[in-house]
Structure 1
């Protein structure tokens, strides 16, 4: 069984390189139709249909079938506007994550035409077909074979082959002539009449170019092909580091002058073991025995690959066709069979075996390198010890996947932002600068609570305050510690804070602050809050 993973490489322009661009122009709607088991124009696909996403302003259309497009529905249009044009428009929920996963699997399937393939999200693929076309009888037959295979899968595609990924993409999306650009030809002349949108630029950049009168690639190369012209365009876009925001970078990638980084999808075998039982089982002790055998099997599989499991999936196939899935995610890579069995045991208490379980499968859907280690001769001494990772795994299974976390410092002077929570074994983030704080209380409230304060003047020390229905007399005050708002994160109306450490008549100490100053122009009378309890 394969699991596609991405491995970054840099694919520089080379003499003789050939790239196949596959544009699945109706990917989302085709995937929806296939999931419904429909042929093109059959059943629900014959009626106007659109895939929608819920937004703050109402449902928005992500894709529409042929009947929906004919009725006026377009991608990006609000559903209310589309139904004004086409009242009979039916809808189905959009699934971007599922479409991305489907595209990833297609990238693995497309390896039949070349040594590597890459995703060209959101709806395309790039396949390296350098020096392989002769295996199909030439590039024309290779394109015919690809077009036929995609058609048999019920997917609408447009294909093109060119010396660079950018040129192949431009031909597949905007080319109206031959879909093959010869390697020895002049790429610039062949793509002269294509619109500037063929350069894969952001929409705001395309708007700027059109306002400058640059509507075709030929206009761009003619006016800015010389050194002086390139300097003028470079000055306008010099702050744009992303290739999609800089037409000069995209043009050079199109013509093969600079390398373009590509991210191939590499199929990786994931360990999987299973048992098809001669007789269905219904009792827990028998299930535990099968689980122990599978854990030992997958431990051997992982050891042979030099890996450890981070996520495991246990599937139980019942006689009546129902499938029960239990997932487990570990804090650190492991291939210890006893530890795996112990963690899964807590997840099998609520399993309903029905008329019996006939197949049990265990799969490591996420694995990481784990070096082989020599066992300790004094193994008996280890039986009484538990590693930190194993302890965290047990707590996570018992308390929930998000119950075990650790605090890490974060560069912020605002107390409630000065720390964040992350999984316990993840490395701490790099230092973001040293922050010198005054003494802070050990206990902060989940959120500051409003209090009523009596003071001699609006900017003076507090003398008495009411908190949770009780009045406290202030006998000692230390402060203030002033903290300005973080203007780069908050609105302009955010007010500064003056913090005070105070003690009441009973000797209890609190950490309170005044939000704002009288007459600061950012609100009325300052408010007071209690945020922490001091030792």
Structure 2
């Protein structure tokens, strides 16, 4: 299946977001006059974005505010909010997954969506683009869209090509994109300046230069944004360009829908205490502690009362949380009664499990945790007492290691977000025979340990690529599936390799885990 990528460029993201915050339509109210969003710099205010009247009056992004007001004395200003723009873009990335299973950020104002194998659900790529344009128009956002086989080509067309451009798999990308400027390669300003001084102003000009000459000129530049050869290879699909997908993380939430509305404070305190206990258990299951908690009270008449609590340090102590909320409920007017109470933790931080009562008991019984572990080690052996710790790897068999029970954990460079994992992983993966409808389709039946299992449900695939920094180049991809047979037993299996990947023969199937 050929890869297809949708590039979305929110050409006026900062201005559109400011306009939405003010509740204005394009060209309405304050947006009808010249306006610029400014950022404070060491040399004074600088324009970060400008609306259409402001750009027509001469205000351009990157210009000093003093220079812009020389051209347009009536220019109004508002503070820019890059952090807010990025948060807004992240929410858009989750929302844009309606057109594809995976989306990635292209900061500061773009999105990349993988739409491989999805366009037929919309009636084709042209219809998909029309649906996307209509959806963004309803949100009053200005966008430019393009579809291509690579993220680089889609980005180039969205920023420098015609509206709603589509680069077909059968098209020659080098010829189709030859007339685009070299800025379409996503290079930094210094590199673009160097190329223009060399007379290389279009992508087609780069094809007329010997590759060895460009290698000598840019061989010391390792960053893709400073090396036109890397960007050109990514654009043409000669080298892969990994994208970091945006994954939605739902904040912990618990609620009570009451059989009868309550009006008395003692009943409300009891419900809040129960919710605090439920939230503590929810946070403990994820090894998290809450820094901000939001308590919502839904009254019978439809009014919602919200109380927000921020903590100095991560916590999941139910009594502490309930006591703090108790001081915030003194002024609550229950009206005709409260029928729904919801507690949500939008801000959480990692909070390791701790066995505090063990050390407290040591003062009474004289046995500390360290002394207990020493006794177990002497009785069972030096290698018998260990604890599992996470490792920085997406491969299931490498995602966990063992170390001494009281040794400090080594900090991970990255935080890995995984899909649900089975409760039991086999010590060694076991080969299975699988029957499927299509080579890349879902499995329908498999044989394991001499028994045939009919698959009634299947979920996947979840693709895990090999670790290129430690594996050989011939190592194959894994596509994991969560399946359920007719008896309700659930398994975790994977296909090793893809047909035609050039890294071996027919892909093999293996069973690695058993779900609870």
Shorter-chain TM band = 0.5 to 0.7
The residue number in structure 2 matching 1:296 is 277
The residue number in structure 1 matching 2:207 is 221
The residue number in structure 1 matching 2:320 is 342
SS of 2:165's equivalent? coil
SS of 1:261's equivalent? coil
Instruction: Describe the shift of the 1:17–1:98 C-alpha distance in structure 2 as closer, same or farther (beyond 3 A).
Output: same
Do residues 309 (structure 1) and 288 (structure 2) align? Answer: yes
Instruction: Describe the shift of the 1:25–1:178 C-alpha distance in structure 2 as closer, same or farther (beyond 3 A).
Output: closer
* Root mean square deviation, CA, Å: 3.5
Instruction: Describe the shift of the 1:321–1:16 C-alpha distance in structure 2 as closer, same or farther (beyond 3 A).
Output: closer
The residue number in structure 2 matching 1:356 is 333
SS of 2:219's equivalent? coil
The residue number in structure 2 matching 1:37 is 23
Do residues 266 (structure 1) and 266 (structure 2) align? Answer: no
The residue number in structure 1 matching 2:307 is 324
The residue number in structure 2 matching 1:248 is 229
Q: 5 Å matches for 1:135-284?
A: 135-176=121-162, 179-223=165-209, 229-275=210-256, 278-279=261-262
Instruction: Describe the shift of the 1:384–1:78 C-alpha distance in structure 2 as closer, same or farther (beyond 3 A).
Output: farther
The residue number in structure 2 matching 1:445 is none
Q: Displacement, 1:350?
A: 6.3
Q: Displacement, 1:308?
A: 2.4
Instruction: Describe the shift of the 1:163–1:116 C-alpha distance in structure 2 as closer, same or farther (beyond 3 A).
Output: same
Q: 1:465-507: CA deviations, max 9, x gaps?
A: xxxxxxxxxxxxxxxxxxxxxxxxxxxxxxxxxxxxxxxxxxx
Distance 1:188 1:57 in 2: 42
| Conservation of the 8 A alpha-carbon contact between 2:32 and 2:53 | yes
Distance 2:363 2:166 in 1: 66
Instruction: Describe the shift of the 1:286–1:130 C-alpha distance in structure 2 as closer, same or farther (beyond 3 A).
Output: same
| Conservation of the 8 A alpha-carbon contact between 1:311 and 1:329 | no
| Conservation of the 8 A alpha-carbon contact between 2:100 and 2:114 | yes
SS of 2:238's equivalent? coil
State the TM-score, normalizing by the size of structure 1.
0.61
2:106 to 120, 142, 145: 120
Instruction: Describe the shift of the 1:353–1:237 C-alpha distance in structure 2 as closer, same or farther (beyond 3 A).
Output: farther
Instruction: Describe the shift of the 1:266–1:384 C-alpha distance in structure 2 as closer, same or farther (beyond 3 A).
Output: farther
Distance 1:291 1:311 in 2: 16
Distance 1:368 1:123 in 2: 28
Distance 2:89 2:124 in 1: 26
Q: Displacement, 1:177?
A: 6.7
Which structure has the higher relative contact order (CA within 8 Å, separation 6+)?
A: 1
State the TM-score, normalizing by the size of structure 2.
0.63
Q: 5 Å matches for 1:360-399?
A: 361-366=342-347, 381=361
Q: Displacement, 1:63?
A: 0.7
SS of 1:82's equivalent? helix
| Conservation of the 8 A alpha-carbon contact between 1:202 and 1:244 | yes
SS of 1:17's equivalent? coil
Distance 1:315 1:63 in 2: 34
SS of 1:328's equivalent? strand
Q: Displacement, 1:255?
A: 0.3
| Conservation of the 8 A alpha-carbon contact between 1:195 and 1:216 | yes
| Conservation of the 8 A alpha-carbon contact between 1:309 and 1:364 | no
Distance 2:15 2:263 in 1: 41
| Conservation of the 8 A alpha-carbon contact between 2:292 and 2:308 | yes
| Conservation of the 8 A alpha-carbon contact between 2:49 and 2:61 | yes
Instruction: Describe the shift of the 1:181–1:343 C-alpha distance in structure 2 as closer, same or farther (beyond 3 A).
Output: same
Distance 1:377 1:160 in 2: 59
Instruction: Describe the shift of the 1:57–1:183 C-alpha distance in structure 2 as closer, same or farther (beyond 3 A).
Output: same
Distance 1:74 1:378 in 2: 64
Distance 2:304 2:164 in 1: 51
| Conservation of the 8 A alpha-carbon contact between 2:294 and 2:345 | no
Distance 2:190 2:100 in 1: 35
Instruction: Describe the shift of the 1:288–1:383 C-alpha distance in structure 2 as closer, same or farther (beyond 3 A).
Output: farther
| Conservation of the 8 A alpha-carbon contact between 2:291 and 2:349 | no
The residue number in structure 1 matching 2:33 is 47
| Conservation of the 8 A alpha-carbon contact between 1:51 and 1:91 | yes
Query: Larger Rg: 1 or 2?
Result: 1
2:76 to 90, 93, 96: 90
Q: 1:197-251: CA deviations, max 9, x gaps?
A: 000000000011111111000101221xxxxx22222222222111111111000
Instruction: Describe the shift of the 1:59–1:321 C-alpha distance in structure 2 as closer, same or farther (beyond 3 A).
Output: farther
SS of 1:41's equivalent? coil
Q: Displacement, 1:109?
A: 0.4
